[in-house]
Amino acid sequence: MDTLFSGMQPTGSMHVGNYLGAIESWVDLQERYRCVYCIVDYHALTGQVEAGAMQPTILEMATWLLACGIDPAKSLLFVQSDVPEHTELGWILSTVTPMGELSRMTQFKEKSKQAELASFVNTGLYTYPILQAADIMLYKAKWVPVGEDQRQHLELTREITRKFNARYGDTFPECQPLIKDDKRARVLGLDGEAKMSKSLDNHLAFTHTADEIKHRVTRTMVSDTQRARLADPGRPEVCNVFTFHGFFSGTEQRADIEAKCRTAQIGCFHCKSALAENVNARLGPIRERAEVLRKRPDDVRDVLRDCGLQVRALAQVTMDEVRSRVGLR
Ligand code: TYM
């Protein structure tokens, strides 16, 4: 079985963008690959997380991932800092990574703009993609399921792999991104313009209650902006609400909504209410499983610890090889 790796930052609650772009695939792919899933707390430090907030958010993220269907009997789910080899390999890879490539990273440019507002662009934001490459390469992973926003980082991972192999001999496989080939690869936020993200507050979070989801969808979600009155025919092909029906509603209901929207038989409120119901129907069982797990935090911690130990053994084998290749003891 090929190894597959992916990671997620423990920053607040998971949202529908993470879920559709990545986590749904994480769950499905468990049957076909040896999956290694990581809660990347070293990466989260670049966002200047309060020290006291880190452990609760890690536990929260692990709880959601298990509730979504990550199964510890099939996959390894662990916390990055339980395996310090990630940072060791990151350092070694930094010596084969050109600075120019790091400066080109869109995510660095965007995040440093946000950080500039807080008047502190930390170096970790700049070297972030090297640590991400180390995450993947440490397990010699071939496949990496992610959303579209991570494509550039994975291209850089491939380049770092080539540079390492050229200098020290064939050691790592070049990884391949697994990115959805539809609009789930880059789920837009409720504004219908920017990528869904917690920092823009344009998201539907797993922690939102059913009422909050309903309120956010029906009251704040932007639909076809040219449709001013109920009597105007709508244009589902440009409407983000309709796109979301594609994610959450059945074929028949979608066809019905599409036809009635185009002929102005229903208004946007009707369409959004149906969507909110379907989102809640999908999140309901996940919320219930999370609620059960939340009553057994030690079970979640046990999963993370046990998987961390197993993963660390794998990481140490790779690091022995890497140290020997590069001439360290
Ligand atoms: P993170 O924590 O921002 O996001 C986790 C996953 O969710 C995807 N995603 C989205 N997909 C579609 N639409 C959206 N609006 C959306 N928002 C987020 C992300 O693409 C990602 O797959 N750098 C990574 C974490 C990481 C990693 C890795 C990933 C660290 N090391 C190694 C893969 C392999 C990140 O910040 O993801």
Q: In this predicted structure, what is the pLDDT of residue 119? A: 79
Specify whether 159 is located in the same domain as 15.
Answer: yes
- For residue 151, report the distance from its CA to the centre of ligand 1, in Å: 10
Residue 118 lies in a domain: yes
Give the pLDDT band (50/70/90) at residue 91.
Answer: very high
Q: In this predicted structure, what is the pLDDT of residue 231? A: 86
Answer yes or no: is pLDDT of 118 > 90: no
Specify whether 177 is located in the same domain as 61.
Answer: yes
Tell me whether residue 198 is one of the annotated catalytic residues: yes
Specify whether 83 is located in the same domain as 115.
Answer: yes
Specify whether 22 is located in the same domain as 89.
Answer: yes
Q: What is the Cα–Cα distance from 222 to 241, expressed in whole angstroms?
A: 7
- For residue 55, report the distance from its CA to the centre of ligand 1, in Å: 20
Q: Which atom of ligand 1 is nearest to the CA of 196?
A: 15
Go through 20-45 and write b for each residue having 16 or more CB atoms within 10 A of its CB, e for each that does not.
bbbbbbbbebbeebbbbbbbbbbbbe
Residue 284 lies in a domain: yes
Give the CATH number for residue 220.
1.10.240.10
Specify whether 178 is located in the same domain as 280.
Answer: no
Specify whether 260 is located in the same domain as 312.
Answer: no
Which residues sit with their C-beta closer than 6 Å to ligand 1? 5-9, 17-18, 21-22, 40, 43, 132, 135-136, 144, 146-147, 149-150, 185-187, 195-197
Q: What is the Cα–Cα distance from 25 to 139, expressed in whole angstroms?
A: 19
Whether pTM > 0.85 for this model: the answer is yes
Tell me whether residue 180 is one of the annotated catalytic residues: no
pLDDT in tens, 204-237: 999 999 999 999 999 999 999 888 888 888 999 9
Residue 261 identity: C
- For residue 45, report the distance from its CA to the centre of ligand 1, in Å: 15
Specify whether 51 is located in the same domain as 80.
Answer: yes
CA 158 from centre of chain: 19
Average pLDDT over residues 72-95: 98
Answer yes or no: is pLDDT of 117 > 70: no
Question: How many of the other CB atoms lie within 10 Å of CB of 235?
Answer: 15
Residue 303 lies in a domain: yes
Specify whether 162 is located in the same domain as 75.
Answer: yes
Specify whether 130 is located in the same domain as 259.
Answer: no
**For a pocket test of ligand 1, which of 40, 68, 186 has the largest count of ligand atoms closer than 8 A to its C-beta?**
40
Residue 138 lies in a domain: yes
Give the CATH number for residue 38.
3.40.50.620
C-alpha closest to that of 163 among 329, 326, 328, 327: 326
Specify whether 308 is located in the same domain as 162.
Answer: yes
pLDDT in tens, 7-32: 999 987 799 999 999 999 999 999 99
Residue 194 lies in a domain: no
Share of the chain above pLDDT 90, in %: 89
Lowest mean pLDDT among 28-42, 112-126, 128-142: 112-126
Specify whether 107 is located in the same domain as 253.
Answer: no
Residue 205 lies in a domain: no
- For residue 123, report the distance from its CA to the centre of ligand 1, in Å: 20
Q: Write out the residue range of the structural domain in which residue 222 sits.
A: 210-290
Tell me whether residue 195 is one of the annotated catalytic residues: yes
Specify whether 153 is located in the same domain as 38.
Answer: yes
Q: In this predicted structure, what is the pLDDT of residue 229? A: 84
Answer yes or no: is pLDDT of 33 > 80: yes
Count up the domains in the chain and report the number: 2
Considering the chain, what is the average pLDDT of its residues? 95
Residue 277 near residue 36 (C-beta atoms within 8 A): no
Residue 195 lies in a domain: no
Q: Which atom of ligand 1 is nearest to the CA of 11?
A: 2
Q: Which long-range contacts (CB under 8 A, 24 or more apart) does 88-92 make?
A: 88/319, 89/134, 89/137, 89/138, 89/318, 89/319, 89/322, 90/127, 90/130, 90/131, 90/133, 90/134, 92/322, 92/326
Catalytic residue among 142, 163, 195, 260: 195
Q: In this predicted structure, what is the pLDDT of residue 230? A: 83
Residue 43 lies in a domain: yes
Catalytic residue among 74, 142, 163, 198: 198
